Structures are given as structure tokens and as C-alpha cells.
Chains A and B, each alone.
Chain A
Amino acid sequence: MNKFLAPAALISLAALTLTGCTDNTTGTTAGDGTINVVSTAEACTVSSNQVPGGTLKFNVKNEGSAVTEFYLLAEDGLRIAGEVENIGPGVSRDLVVIAPAGSYYTACKPGMVGEGIRAPFSVTESAEGPSVSADRASLQKNATELYSAYVKDQSEQLVRGTQNFATAFAAGDEQLAKKLYAPTRMHWERIEPVAESFGDLDPILDAREADLEKGEAFTGWHRAEKDLWSPTGYTKLSKDERTTLAQQMVKDTKELQWRTTELTFTPDKLSNGAKELLDEVATGKVTGEEELFSHTDLWDFQANLEGAKIAYEDLQPLLVGTDDQLDAQLKKNFAALQEQLDEHRVGDGFKYYNQLTATQIKDLAAGVDALSEPLSQLTAAAVK
């Protein structure tokens, strides 16, 4: 425990010392360039109010008794260049932000209310640091707008696809319903973290039977899947039951689509969402557990991969010039995993999971791990 607490305590001491010495003067930061911020109910003490441009790292210590926030605001005092929220009492959090030369404001917001305790902050031209020409805030905004449009498009396609599937399923046209099942679900799987964020809709649309408690209704895609690829001993749904299930799926999917229009995205939501999509592949698809009866797990795999790639591509401009190595690694590993998956393509679709050999499955799992590891670095690179 002590070994973890010690650095925080040192930083806090350092902050106090530095502020004492450098009040209203320029250019002093901790040895590693960290700018220390101490937030209390009355004060927002920043260890330095003028630093050279580049990657700035603030360490914000909350010494108040309420939750605080810290902002780096642009010259107009409105646009947010960087922020860190939810800093509990006694807790330290870092804010890493790439800031070009210019005039800014720092602001602590103890209790998360009001304008915050503000002070001017200046970033000077840096001689050796990376030149930051682009406005990262606008790059981030652009990324989230692109992704938001993608979610909108996928959820609309999901509604249309679900309607077609539901019609075939309700009518008892098993052949057509089976054909539509996997391709339609791909729209869901591409935006799965978004769909799952609606805690009430996710279980009724996408729960597997094991996800439910005794007595809970088994509905949604996997109920239809079980009925279409029914295992031995399973009693098929009647026409009325099929119709009810189908209508419910359409209704719930429309609700989902409507709710996605209300969503706002932040860059970390994109990158964390991409990571979650690969987690889904790792824990559900590559194990063959998602599509227990249809064995169409590779369709889901493909869709998860595409969804993650879109999020990465939307964020990619934020890596240019600041983390080219990560960018190159991700580009390479996305392509490599796609290539691996392409080996299992059959016609418009893929092999069924139960047609894969143990070695093929292990190779796919290794490919997922290879991509997931650098992908987990994307958030830190994109939010700064």
C-alpha cells in the first residue's frame, strides 16, 4: 500500500512547494515536466502558469471534500482543450493534453458547479517539442461526428434488416429467416457496445438463454436462433408465438434506433468501444458461444472487427504526428486479422464455427490478442 501512496504524497508536497516559490512567475514544472494542480474548495493552485507547447501533463490532486474537475480552456474561456472529471476527495488524476502555443485558462470546479476557479495559463512556442499545428479539439469533434453518423447508419440498417427477418420468421419461412439471420445481426454486432449501453434493451434483444434467471422470458435474436436451428428435444414455437417474438424484436429495435439518435460520443467512447468489440470477439465469438445453435460466430466476428476498425479510423487523424508508431501497428494488425478471417470465407459468408479446427480457432484467438493489445493503447493516445 505504502509504495503506491508515496508518490502521490510526494507530488502533493512538491506542488505546495512549487506554488510557494513560483507564484505568478513563469515556467517551473516538476522534474518530469508535470504541472501539478491542487484543487480545494476555495483554491485551484497550478504549479506553473506558463509552459512550452507540446504534450502537457497535469497532475490534479483533489484536497477538497467534494468531487472536483479540472479543465484547460481555450482563450475564449468556452472551448475545452482538455478535461478530467470525477476526481474524488483525496484522489489524484492526470490530464494529458497536446496543446499548441496560445493563451488558455485553467479551471478547477470543486463540487462540479459554476464557472470554476479560473486562472490564465499560457503555452509558449516550443523550440524542440513537437509542433502542434492542428487543433486537436476539432479533430476530436470530427472523429465523434463521423462515428455518430456510422452508428446512425448501422442502427437504421438494423431496423430494416430486423423487419425483413421478422416477416420471414413470423411467416414460418425458415429458409429465408436462416439466410437473413447472420447478415442482419452484423449491423447489431458492428455497434455492439452502443447497443449494450441500453441495459434494458440488450437483454431482451440479445441475451443468450444462460444470461437469464429462471422464469425470465427468453426473447430476441437468440430465441429466434434456437427456434430456427432447434436442438434435439426443443419444442418449436407456434405461429402465434413466432409472431409475438418477431413483432417484439422490431419494436425493441426501433426503440434502440431512436435512442441512438440521442447519444453523444466522446473520443474515449470510440476507443474504448473498439476495445470492447475485440473483447466481445475474444470472450464470445472465438469461443463459439455467441451463436450456440446457428454457429454463425464468424459473421459476428467480422462485424465486431469492422466496428472496431471504423472507430480507429475515425480517431486516426489524432495519431498522425503524435503517435505514428501506434498508428502503423494498428493499421498492420487490423489488416492481418482481416486476412486471417478472410481465409474462412465461403461465398457471401463464412465457415460455421463448428467447421473450424482447434488449430484454426487458436490461430484466430492469437490474432485477436495481437490486435487487442495495441488497440488498448488507443484511448490514451486519442484523448490527449
Chain B
Amino acid sequence: MRQDKEETSVNLSRRLLLTAAGAGGAGLALGALGHLAYAGQVSEPAPSDQIPFYGEHQAGIVTESQDRMHIAAFDVQTEDRQELIELLQAWTQAILAMTQGQEIGEGGALAGSYNAPPTDTGEALGLPASRLTVTIGFGRSLFLDGETPRFGLAGKLPEALIELPHFRGDMIEAQRSYGDIIVQACADDPQVAVHVIRNLARLAFGKANVRWSQIGFGRTSKTTAQQSTPRNLFGFKDGTENIVAEDSQALEENVWVTKEGTDQAWMVGGSYLVARRIRMHIETWDRSTLGEQENVVGRLKSSGAPLSGGDEFTPPDFAMPGRGGPIIPKDSHVAVVHPSAHGGARMLRRGFNYTDGSDGLGRLDAGLFFIAFVNDARTHFVPIQRAMSANDAMNEYLRHTSSGLYAVPPGIQAGQYLGQQLFETV
């Protein structure tokens, strides 16, 4: 997929930086490394496996979905606003460096003091940037401790940052859910993604700690028109009708927070990330007939075409009669969640297949880590999930084990830190 030539050039840049850090000596501040690297990047085009970090929106939303993900939620321990800001600043510098395939911190992985632990943990040495993106968002609990505002953020909680309700059949495990800050690291190389979470967790010690984290080993959506539709662990194509990066109108209407669409100026250009860990009972699924599987999904397992005919991208005909009801069953997944059943509301889905070992009963603990970006979960997620939990035949094979909603602030420019709008917008 990637060309060897590109890998070489990126490896080279990681090593060059190593030298630069060594030459920089002890005087380099934590952030300086990142800025140095950024300055270098401006003069030459970024290698194709680097995703620009700065922009109107954060990367990792409309970015063509990478193959792997490591996502983590942090709880902030400190109650000091300045300390929280410093953490976000340190993270921003580190993220910038890592998205450019560079090591983080003074001395990086190898060039620091022999008598001190290296500032970069080193497992990404020699690996290219791997189209890494790191996207952060804020949970409701960052703003409020019960009813009490935290970090001087009184009045900054967006109305749309609700507590997600309990949906029918939810088996939510609190230790896998919620959290003050979400960090979504996506890359084509799993080690690059894990490197991010590991190093950000390290930078946070004493200020924030990992509440939960999750690895996704394979993408379950397409986020650009040219990307192929992948299959989820049910073996079906997933995300056929996803919003793609090229569809700017759909993004405006469903994904990006607009001035008119929010009570919080700092969220304009941002989005909301919904996270749900959905375990699949894959063993019982695998024993169901192909006919049952296709009726549950409402699509053909082969091409992904709706049961009403055509190809993968043919719109489903929910009215086409079949024996005993529509040919696409009313309780099939596609019929229940299709935008046409929800006033046109769509999501940008960016989920990943996961497996977390086994469950002690001889089965894989596997499923889909659902991630969606929407401009308002109250209109673009809750009604759809409510319908799904009530009517979807697929529920027989699913169990929702985690839940989270996070306000994803807009992107930043050089010199800013992630989330700065929250702390500095009046």
C-alpha cells in the first residue's frame, strides 16, 4: 500500500530529528523540538504518510480512515486550571512531533542523559508517521463535578454535551466508559498508535490518568469516496452510506458544529464524538444461517447490496413487498437505522473492529468499537440508538458495554494548543 520510498524518507526524518535533538543539547525546552520540526515541515511538502496536524478542524475525523486505532479516556486528577492547560500544551507538542514521525521530548528515545529515563519510549523508532492522527475531546465530567463547575469552566458546558441515556439492553461498564478527556489515536501501524497513548499517559502522570483504553485492529468504515468499504466482524460490509470527506454539505449538516447550531462559541468548527464498545456474540452469529444473517442486516453478505436489489450503493427500497412483509425486513439493521427513518440525520462513523482476548467461557471478546462524529448527539445519535435498541433484530447478537460522549474542539494553528478555544474564548 505504502511505497518503500516514502517509508525510507520518513525513517530518515525520524533519524534526522534524533541528531537535531542531540545537537540541541540540554537547553531545549519540551516544546521547542516540536516547533523546530514544524518549521522544517513548512519549507518542504509533508511526506504522503503524514497527515497535517494544524487546520480548521482536528485531524482524525474526515481523514481517510486509518487501519488501526488506540483510543483512551483520561480522568483529570488535578483541579488546577493552569496545570490542565499545561498538560494540553505538553500533549499538543508531543502530538505534533509524533504525527510527523518524530520522537518526543528533549533527547527523544536515545539521545538523553544516560542517567535518566528517555523522554520518548522508543517503540516507534524506525517507523514512519503511518498517517497518524490524534484527536482530543472533552467529556461532560471535565466541566462539572456533580453540579459544581471545574477548572473555572462555569458556563462553558455545551448544551449538546448531554449524559447519554440508558438504552434498552445496555450493559454499560463504568470502568470502560465516560472520562474527562478522550484521545483518539489512529494510524496505519498499530505500534504508532499505541506509542501515542503510552507517551501521552506518561506526560499526564500526576495530572491525569488513563480511565480506559481500547485498541481497534481494523477499520469498519470508509471516510473518503475512493476508500473501499471494509467488513465488520459479522462479515458484512459496514459503512456503505457513511459520510465521506468529499461531501462538504453532509459534513456541514451533520458533523461540524456551526455558530447557529451551538450555545458555545468555542465549539464552532468542532464536533461530538460518540463512543460505544459493542460486543458481538460472534459464536452464535456464526451459527445462524446465511438467510438469517442477511435478513438481520437487510443487505447481501456478498456485495453489500440491499435485499431490494442493485449493487452496494443502490438505495434500499424499504417499500418493496416480499412474502410476509417488505423484502427488507422492518426489523433489519438497515431499515431501523437508515437516515430515511430519522429525518435524514446521518453520522460520520469511524469505528474499528476489536478483540480483547477471550471471556473465560471459551469465546472471543470481540466486536465493534463504534465511533461516530456528529454535530449534536441529541438529534444525530440518541434517536437512532433508541430505535436500534428497541427494534433492531441485530440486538440478539450485540451487547453494548461502554458509552461515552465528548465535545471535540475545533482544530488549531501553529502556536496554539489543543482545546485552547475552551479556555480562551470569551
Residues of chain A touching chain B, judged by Cβ–Cβ distance below 8 Å, are: 1, 4-5, 8, 62, 65-67, 69, 85-86, 88-91, 112, 210-214, 272, 275, 279, 282-283, 286-287, 358, 361-362, 365-366, 369, 372-373, 375-376, 379-380
Contacts and interface: CB of A to CB of B under 8 A. Distances in A.
Interface in B389-407: 389, 396, 399
B396 A88 contact: no
- The residue in B168, B305, B309 that gathers the most chain A C-beta atoms within 10 A of its C-beta is B309
B327 A373 contact: no
Contacts of B386: 213
A120 to B, nearest CB: 25
A88 B300 CA distance: 10
7 contacts: A4-B303, A69-B323, A86-B324, A90-B309, A275-B288, A279-B281, A365-B362
Given A4-B301, A272-B289, A362-B360, 4 more contacts: A88-B306, A89-B309, A212-B168, A279-B284
- Sorted nearest first, the 3 A-B pairs with minimum C-beta distance are A89-B309, A376-B287, A4-B302
Contact of A89 (B288, B303, B308, B323): B308
B47 to A, nearest CB: 31
A214 B386 CA distance: 11
Contact of A1 (B165, B169, B304, B389): B304
Contacts of A366: 362
A375 B166 CA distance: 35
Interface in B151-198: 165-171
Interface of B: 165-171, 281, 283-284, 287-289, 292, 300-310, 312, 320-324, 327, 360-363, 386, 389, 396, 399
A5 B166 contact: no
B297 to A, nearest CB: 13
A213 B361 contact: no
A384 to B, nearest CB: 13
B284 A283 contact: yes
Contacts, number: 100
B289 A362 contact: no
- The residue in A1, A65, A85, A369 that gathers the most chain B C-beta atoms within 10 A of its C-beta is A1
Contacts of B306: 88
A210 B361 contact: no
A379 B289 CA distance: 8
A123 B161 CA distance: 68
A82 B201 CA distance: 62
Contacts of A214: 165-166
A85 B295 CA distance: 13
Nearest to A109: B323
B322 A112 contact: yes
A372 B323 contact: no
A376 B288 CA distance: 7
Contacts of A90: 305, 309-310
A210 B303 contact: no
A88 B304 contact: no
A279 B302 contact: no
Contact of B309 (A4, A85, A88): A88
A322 to B, nearest CB: 18
Given A1-B304, A210-B171, A279 B287 contact: yes
- The residue in B169, B322, B362 that gathers the most chain A C-beta atoms within 10 A of its C-beta is B322
Contacts of B399: 283
Given A85-B322, A88-B327, A365-B362, A282 B281 contact: yes
